[in-house]
Structure 1
C-alpha cells in the first residue's frame, strides 16, 4: 500500500508518498520494458543494481572553461580601468568583483569535479543471505569544492530491515521550471521512524518503485521471483565512452576487497 502521510521523521524533501517497507508486499510489479537498466548481477546470494545520482553527464566539463573565462572578467576590468584612469577602483567595485571571481571559480571547480570524479556507476548490492545492503556511494560537498576528504567514494553497509523507500518530486531550476521525480532510500534507527541517513535510489518514481519492488522480491523470495530481462547487463567499467569526456575521465567502479567479498557471499 502507499501511505498518504509521511511515516518518517523527517520525510525527504518533496515527499510524495512512502513505499512499502522491506518485508511488506511490493506495491507494483517490475516490468523490464519500462526499466532503463537490467540488474548488473543476480544469483542466489546477491542482487546488484545500477545507480546514478546524476542523470546527465558531460555538461559540467564544458561549463568549467566557461566559468573560468567569466572569472577573468573582474580582474581584467580592474586592470583596464586602472590603466585608463590611473585611479584605483572603488571599494564597492572591488568587493563585487571579488565576489564574482570567487563564485565563478567555485562553480567551475564544482562542475568539473561533479562530472569527472563521480564513478561510472554507483551500484547497490542486496545480499539476501546476510540481509545486508551495500551502497557504493559518491560523496561531495558543494561548500568545500577544493577539499580532498569531503569528496570521494565510500561504501556504506546497512541492514535490509532498516531501509525505507520514499517517492519525491520537486521543481528544479530548469528555465521555466521542471519537475524532478526521484525515489530515495532512508535508513532508520531500528524499531523507530527516526532517519539517520538517506541517499538517492532511482530517477523517476515509476522506475524507482519497480526497482524497489525488485529488491523486495529478491530479498523475500529469491532470484526466481524476478522478471526476465532480454537485454544483457551493461558493463559500466568497459563501455565505449569516447564521445563523453566526463565519463571517459570518471573512475571505474572498484569495491574494496573485503567489502566486495563480503557483499557477494553468504556468512
Structure 2
C-alpha cells in the first residue's frame, strides 16, 4: 500500500499518525531538545556524521582520496600526451576518477563548511515551522553528483505551516558480509498543499540506526499543548563544538519566537516595509 501523500518520498516505509501520543512513560525528545518555552521549541537535527571529531577524521580521509585521485588522473593524462604504449586503455579510468573527485570534493567541502547543527523550530502559538537546512543532511542523494561542491557554504531557511506537515518513515537496507542485513531509518516530514495530500516539499527530521518515532511523537504533543508527559531535558552540552555556528536570519529568528499570531503578523509587516524601501 503506497503513501497517501503523493508524490511519495523515496524509500517510503509508512505514514505516521499526526496527533497527541499517549504513553505510560514520558515522551522522550531523544536528547535533541536545544531549547523550549511556552511559545516555541528548537530541536537538533545533528546526526553522527556531524560529530566534531568524526568530522575531522572524514575531512582527512576525503582530502587524501582527492589527492590520490588527482595524482592518478595526472599520470594517465601524462602517459597519453607522451604517447606511452597502451595508455589509451586507461582513458575510461579517468572518467571514474572524475566522479570520485566530485564525490569526495563534495564531501570534503560540505563537512568543512556545514554548521555545527541544522536545527528546526516549532512555534505552537503561531503554528509555524522553521528549518535551518544544509546540503550535508541530504548527502548521498543524486544531487551529490550534480550539485556544485563550491556551494558548500549555502544555508537554506524555510518556513512552513504545521497544519500542512505530515510525517513519513523511510528505510534503506543493505546486506552484510555475514549474511545479515543492516538498516537505516529516516523520519521525513512532507509538506502538502493546504487541505490536500499533494506533496510540494519535504525535509529530514531525524535519522536512526533502529526504528523509532521519538521526535515525531514529542513534537506532536508539544504542538498540541499536551506538555504533561513530555521530557523537557535539554540536549547535553559538548566540550568541543564545530566553529561554524547556527545563525538564524534576523527576520526568521524574530518570527519563530513570536508569542502570538498577531505579533508574527506585526513582524512580517515590519520587514515587508523594510523590503519595499
Please indicate the TM-score interval, normalised by the length of the shorter structure: 0.7 to 0.9
Q: Is the 8 A contact 2:105 2:149 kept in 1?
A: yes
Distance between the aligned counterparts of 1:206 and 1:26, measured in 2?
A: 20
1:19 deviation in Å?
0.9
Residue 144 (1) aligns with residue 147 (2): yes
1:233 deviation in Å?
3.3
1:27 deviation in Å?
7.1
SS of the aligned residue for 1:255 comes to coil
User: Per-residue displacement from partner, 1:55-103 (whole Å, max 9, x unpaired)?
Assistant: 3242431222232233212322554x579xx634557435324313312
Q: Is the 8 A contact 2:30 2:214 kept in 1?
A: no
The ranges of structure 1 where at least 4 consecutive aligned residues each deviate by more than 6 angstroms after the TM superposition are 173-176
Distance between the aligned counterparts of 1:27 and 1:55, measured in 2?
A: 29
SS of the aligned residue for 2:149 comes to coil
Question: In structure 2, do the counterparts of structure 1 residues 201 and 232 end up closer, same or farther at CA, with 3 Å as the change threshold?
Answer: closer
1:225 to 223, 228, 237: 228
CA RMSD for the aligned pairs? Answer: 3.0
Return 203-212 or 131-140, whichever deviates more.
203-212
Question: In structure 2, do the counterparts of structure 1 residues 159 and 180 end up closer, same or farther at CA, with 3 Å as the change threshold?
Answer: same
Which residue pairs with 1:105 in the alignment?
Answer: 101
Superposition TM-score, scaled by structure 2 size: 0.76
Which residue pairs with 1:244 in the alignment?
Answer: none
Q: Is the 8 A contact 2:17 2:167 kept in 1?
A: yes
Query: Tell me, which stretches of 5 or more residues in structure 1 are unaligned?
Result: 242-246
User: Per-residue displacement from partner, 1:148-200 (whole Å, max 9, x unpaired)?
Assistant: 3x751111000000001011111258777621111100000111111000111
Residue 16 (1) aligns with residue 13 (2): yes
1:194 to 189, 192, 198: 198
How many residues matched?
A: 245
Question: In structure 2, do the counterparts of structure 1 residues 262 and 91 end up closer, same or farther at CA, with 3 Å as the change threshold?
Answer: same
1:114 to 100, 106, 110: 110
Distance between the aligned counterparts of 2:150 and 2:60, measured in 1?
A: 22
Superposition TM-score, scaled by structure 1 size: 0.78
Question: In structure 2, do the counterparts of structure 1 residues 157 and 35 end up closer, same or farther at CA, with 3 Å as the change threshold?
Answer: closer
Distance between the aligned counterparts of 1:147 and 1:138, measured in 2?
A: 13
SS of the aligned residue for 1:201 comes to strand
SS of the aligned residue for 1:13 comes to coil
Q: Is the 8 A contact 1:67 1:107 kept in 2?
A: no
